[in-house]
Structure 1
Amino acid sequence: MPKFGTRMGRILASVAAVAVVAGCSTANSAPGDRADDGTPLVLTTFTVIADMVRAVGGDDVRVESITKVGAEIHGYEPTPSDLRNAASADLIFDNGFGLERWFEDFVATLDVPHVVLTEGIEPIAISTGDYQGLPNPHAWMSPIAGQTYVDNIVAGLSELVPDAAARFEERGAAYRNELQGVAEQLTVFLAALDPDHRLLVTCEGAFSYLARDLGLDEAYLWPVNSDTQGTPQQIRKVIELIQDRNVPAVFCETTVNSASQQQVASESGAEFAGKLFVDSLSEPDGPVPTYLDLLRYDVNLIADGLMQ
């Protein structure tokens, strides 16, 4: 995966002298500082897993996401304030599988433990492009794999706050049951879907795990978000596949430009059926304020598009 450029090096140098004091708490502490009541601060790398940690952690921890709503997670560039806030954290959760290409250098200067949430998940390899053979990082898009995320969250929080371990396990069990319910709903969708339409076409290859759960084939314009999104060759290949399979709808993700996929829809005759949420939740008053909402929203949008 790509390494940081000089900007990250400058940021690391600029905060090195102040990071050691970032954990000090005051009455007017900034976001990222420990709460006045001593509640442990837990950071996550993006909003989706922040919501998962909140669901398990409840009032026993305070959870913040390093990246904000709408951020593109792959190429995120941390700010000095991100590093200062992270230095005051008690625990950091990251996705792993190469998703956060900035994370290794981000935590290199910090004495903060972190938990990798994809630990124990069998990866699906990226099949094309510069990252061919590496794990597809978007495992949370599967409600089955999401249950392993919950297990890892329970374990991490229980080690951080042993006195609350029973509460973490209770909340985790309830959360796993909800995810299992979403997984079971997928079988209903699959049973009603025309076999000829079982192809999920997106901009980024972010749906390998969900496609596996749904029993769908997968096609995309690029495997991982990068500076080159949708070459003429990639676009032509996808258009021909859509026409061969008579697929009624294509999709893109909310955090990337959908222009290439709009072109695919126009030239293939398929409908551009909308944008799917992957790397980020919406604002609280938006359509996917939680991880469970994200899964249900995406499955419903895919179903509406492919069952035409």
Structure 2
Amino acid sequence: MKLFRQVFLSIAAMLAVQGASAADARLPVVASFSILGDIVANIGGDRIVVTTLVGPDQDAHVFQPAPDHIKSVARARLVVVNGLGFEGWMERVTQSANYRGDIVVASQGIAVRDRVEEEHDHDSHDGHDHHHGKNDPHAWQNPANIVIYTQNIVAALSKLDPAGAALYRKNGDAYIASLNELDRWAIQQFAQFPPAKRKVITSHDAFEYFGAHYQVRFLAPQGVSTESEPSAKEVAGLIRQIRKEKIRAVFIENMSSPKLLQQISKEAGVTLGGKLYADALSQADGPAPTYLKLMRYNIGQLLAQMKLN
């Protein structure tokens, strides 16, 4: 019995070492924010371990890196970023970590949209759009762009880990198929509503790509970054526009303070709708723990409110 116990403990110890070695063999990858981390994990599967810097329900626009974030980047073999100016803090992080590995910009190759600032006070302005020439970084809001993200990530992982290239391509192809299915479904859903009913108010301008792709008109008191503060004049103009156009779809975002939209909806005489997930996933037990679920959830919320318009 004693001998059996010694053999059992020896085998258990050996398996534990082998398990630890297998875990250590996985490619350490850092993704800048939660949505991107989910996409990378779907492609890399068991061959990688993903660390996300800006987690679920967190705002990348105001992110402040901590020492643990620096350590994660220092240990990484690959860093995946969105690009388009979204992670203004990333250069400081990689420099602090003395990172010398590969950095892949997931958005490389997409059709970049310029941010269009639109005056909300149509009664006192000429009604034309005012272009400020600022790139909109929220490209993930169009699932067709995530097809390109996926291809870029597959290429980066395959270059770094040639032995896993076939798996990365297989996972990438499966993920692209899911993205295309999501896109077809969304187009069919929005086709139920005429353009006049496709009007939405959100906290900040995170849905330009979504709006252009699905022909939904989004208005917001804040700009492309949650750091920007709207003027009293802009807020008043937006309230007048909500009343004039009878917009009923008003949403807060998961990583933004609801106070401003609560004020706007109260003064405009409309009911504040549900929550949209713009720049971050929900927690694992929430309604948007993955990118695909986030998109379906957001679309469901929008459709429900459009029926009230």
Q: Structure 2: how far apart are the matches of 1:132 and 1:271? A: 32
1:107 to 82, 94, 100: 94
Tell me the residue number matched to 2:209. Answer: 209
Q: Which amino acid aligns with 2:199?
A: L
Tell me the residue number matched to 1:176. Answer: 176
**1:222 lines up with 2:222 in the alignment:** yes
Tell me the residue number matched to 1:292. Answer: 292
* CA shift for structure 1 position 240: 1.8
1:95 to 73, 82, 85: 82
Structure 1 stretches of 5 or more lacking a match?
1-26, 28-33
Q: Structure 1: how far apart are the matches of 2:82 and 2:114? A: 16
Do the aligned partners of residues 67 and 227 (structure 1) sit closer, same or farther apart at CA in structure 2, a change above 3 Å counting? closer
Q: Indicate if the aligned counterparts of 1:196 and 1:247 stay in contact, CA closer than 8 A.
A: no
1:60 to 47, 52, 56: 47
SS at match of 1:204: coil
Q: Indicate if the aligned counterparts of 1:281 and 1:290 stay in contact, CA closer than 8 A.
A: yes
Q: Structure 2: how far apart are the matches of 1:67 and 1:48? A: 9
**1:270 lines up with 2:270 in the alignment:** yes
* CA shift for structure 1 position 213: 1.6
Q: Indicate if the aligned counterparts of 1:287 and 1:293 stay in contact, CA closer than 8 A.
A: yes
Tell me the residue number matched to 1:251. Answer: 251
* CA shift for structure 1 position 36: 4.8
Please list the CA deviations of residues 82-126 of structure 1 after superposition, one character each: whole Å capped at 9, or x if unmatched.
111211100000000111110122213321211001100111111
Structure 2 stretches of 5 or more lacking a match?
1-15, 119-130
Instruction: Give the alignment's Cα RMSD to 1 decimal.
Output: 2.1
* CA shift for structure 1 position 195: 2.9
Please list the CA deviations of residues 211-264 of structure 1 after superposition, one character each: whole Å capped at 9, or x if unmatched.
112111221111123444332122112112222221122112110111111122
Tell me the residue number matched to 1:117. Answer: 106
Tell me the residue number matched to 1:23. Answer: none
Q: Structure 1: how far apart are the matches of 2:57 and 2:168? A: 28
Please list the CA deviations of residues 50-81 of structure 1 after superposition, one character each: whole Å capped at 9, or x if unmatched.
11011011111111101222211012111122
Q: Indicate if the aligned counterparts of 1:201 and 1:218 stay in contact, CA closer than 8 A.
A: yes
Do the aligned partners of residues 59 and 43 (structure 1) sit closer, same or farther apart at CA in structure 2, a change above 3 Å counting? same
- When normalised by structure 2's length, the TM-score is 0.84
Q: Which amino acid aligns with 1:254?
A: N
Tell me the residue number matched to 2:123. Answer: none
1:126 to 115, 129, 150: 115
Q: Indicate if the aligned counterparts of 1:222 and 1:234 stay in contact, CA closer than 8 A.
A: no
Q: Structure 1: how far apart are the matches of 2:22 and 2:223? A: 40
Number of residue equivalences = 277
* CA shift for structure 1 position 35: 7.2
Q: Structure 2: how far apart are the matches of 1:234 and 1:209? A: 22
SS at match of 2:154: helix
- When normalised by structure 1's length, the TM-score is 0.85
SS at match of 2:274: strand
Q: Indicate if the aligned counterparts of 2:239 and 2:267 stay in contact, CA closer than 8 A.
A: yes
Q: Which amino acid aligns with 2:116?
A: S
Q: Indicate if the aligned counterparts of 2:204 and 2:226 stay in contact, CA closer than 8 A.
A: no
Q: Indicate if the aligned counterparts of 2:56 and 2:283 stay in contact, CA closer than 8 A.
A: yes
Q: Which has more radius of gyration? A: 2
